[in-house]
Chains A and B, each alone.
Chain A
Amino acid sequence: MIKIKNLSKSFSNGSTKIEAISNINLQINKDEIFGIIGLSGAGKSTLIRCLNRLEEPTEGNIFIEEKDITTFDKKSLNQLRKSIGMIFQHFNLLSQKTVYKNIAFPLELEGLSKDKINSRVNTLLEYVELKDKKYAYPSQLSGGQKQRVAIARALANNPKILLSDEGTSALDPKTTRSILKLLNKIRKEFGLTIVLITHQMEVIKDICDKVAIIEDGKIIEINTVEELFKNPKTQTAMDFISGLKSNIKNEIINPFDFKGTIVRLGYSEDNAKEPIVSNMIKNFNIQVNILSGNINKLMSTSIGHLILEIQGEDGEVNDAIKYLNNKSINVEVI
């Protein structure tokens, strides 16, 4: 479906030249959800924006259905763009137009009749479950609703490819999941090829079939998502995965599964070296069970957390928690 060959793009800022992406080779198959993950500044946006030439590549070729789009003139390019939907991190809806008018916009560009536009927009509104927001303005919608309008708009012309530039990065985890679910449904029902870029492993894990990891403008690993989790080839891949695992553990601790009190201790480098937990166990008549913990090394310091189950008489447990508070640890009873 999409074949990227030796693709490079550099920006020149006066005298300095920034190589945003260099010598990228990728193949994306039909009906695939292909994820590209990387840290901020890795070149993800530059890469995805080359696919509809919002960014002009400096070198290399991009074949979409066997046609080299880097050779397209203005007219064929606009035609191509109408067959590729795109969604963005900040939704980019027309702020002065209603939901209806926003979705109608690409259809108007296509020169469709009013009747045809009307029926198509209504179908799309139903599909993204926003019928009741037809005459609302973007400012009256939540982030998730805005992104669903943007998705409906991107689908209006029945595209073959959907590009998502951090489409869920501005959304909370729950909304992110609902948007990902919608994208997956679209892929299945419309046979759409989706290319999405993200910095969240969560997103890759949830809906992607294949993933490429991009670092400093280069693809350092291409893998199926399953293989990536079983057998990551690069350190960066491992880092992305380990970031994810500690998050999952955090989520699945349900205080009702435990007899004792669950507390979450947040500590910083200052008090990370003191044997605070050990002292707490000695000083109070309690039992402590470690459920999970991690330390994240940041640029200048390391911060971390520890989740404990504290068992004992209420008075003792409360005193123990007070003791922790006095040690200027951030204590949260879950």
Chain B
Amino acid sequence: MAELIVPALLETLYMVFFSTIFSLLLGLPLGVLLVVTEKNNIWEKLQLNRILNGIINILRSFPFIILMILLFPLSKIIVGKTIGTTATIVPLSIAAAPFVARIIEGSLKEVDKGIIESSLAMGASVTEIIFKVLIPESMPSLILGITTTIINLVGYSAMAGAIGGGGLGDVAIRYGLYRFQTDVMIISVAIIIVLVQGIQFLGNRLSLNINKK
């Protein structure tokens, strides 16, 4: 059993870790752009804002599993294959990116308008406001958002694994569902639950600890 579960757990962690990083790399700039380009914001670009919103809404209205299946061919181009843990990271990251963008957007919008105003009055540029004001000021909320993202990716990776191979979700389905090894399924699911609880706990703690408000 352990020789089944342990590698699967490591695969899950591997997928979640890298897809978190890549979805953040894609989603963070998108989220920032969504905020700063909106009406009356520091870099008002209404046309761009409408386009970004449109793309994100379309991507988010796809059922996640369909979006991933559509994106698997992209893995072929980027990592050279469509099956396996590494190949799964590509669709996982891209499918999660619009979700991350919305989460980041929400956090950044919580920043007090007055603080942005006083930064403008001090002669701060748009980039200075983004990196020295918006992001640091919303850090506690961003951390909670990233926590939610990681947890979603744990769930998504279980789904993705089932299609592309790898991770706890894959094991739970292949052994638990198809080969009737209920114990494997129960343990896999239990580990996923523990993982989710642990991540949420750490995220809450971290957010609380760094918040000076």
Contacts and interface: CB of A to CB of B under 8 A. Distances in A.
A78 B128 CA distance: 12
B136 A105 contact: no
B121 A52 contact: yes
Given A109-B122, A109-B132, A139-B213, 12 more contacts: A54-B117, A82-B123, A88-B117, A90-B114, A92-B114, A92-B118, A95-B137, A95-B213, A97-B136, A106-B123, A109-B124, A139-B212
Given A96-B212, A97-B136, A88 B124 contact: no
A106 B118 CA distance: 10
Interface string B186-213: 0000000000000000000000001111
21 contacts: A54-B120, A77-B123, A78-B124, A79-B123, A80-B123, A81-B123, A90-B114, A92-B118, A93-B115, A94-B136, A94-B137, A95-B115, A95-B212, A95-B213, A96-B137, A96-B139, A96-B211, A97-B136, A105-B132, A109-B123, A139-B212
Interface of A: 52, 54, 77-82, 84, 86, 88, 90, 92-97, 105-106, 108-109, 137-139, 150, 153, 163
A92 B111 CA distance: 11
A109 B213 contact: no
Contacts of B139: 96
B30 to A, nearest CB: 23
Contacts of B115: 92-95
Interface string B94-115: 0000000000000000001011
A4 to B, nearest CB: 18
B146 interface: no
Contacts of B118: 86, 88, 92-93, 150
B123 A78 contact: yes
Contacts of A52: 121
A54 B123 contact: no
A169 B128 CA distance: 30
Contacts of A137: 212-213
CB-based closest 4 A-B pairs: A81-B123, A92-B118, A82-B123, A92-B114
Contacts of B132: 105, 108-109
A86 B137 CA distance: 20
B125 interface: yes
Contacts, number: 69
A105 B122 contact: yes
Contacts of B114: 88, 90, 92
B116 to A, nearest CB: 9
Contacts of A105: 119, 122, 132
A85 to B, nearest CB: 8
A230 B125 CA distance: 47
Contacts of B213: 95-96, 137, 139
Contacts of B59: none
Contacts of A109: 122-124, 128, 132
A160 to B, nearest CB: 14
Contacts of B140: 96
Nearest to B119: A105
B163 interface: no
B112 A92 contact: yes
Nearest to A137: B212
B52 interface: no
Contacts of A106: 122-123
A7 to B, nearest CB: 18
A18 B159 CA distance: 54
A94 B123 contact: no
Nearest to B126: A74
B162 to A, nearest CB: 41
Given A94-B137, A95-B212, A96-B136, A78 B125 contact: yes
A78 B125 CA distance: 7
A81 B123 CA distance: 5
Interface string B73-107: 00000000000000000000000000000000000
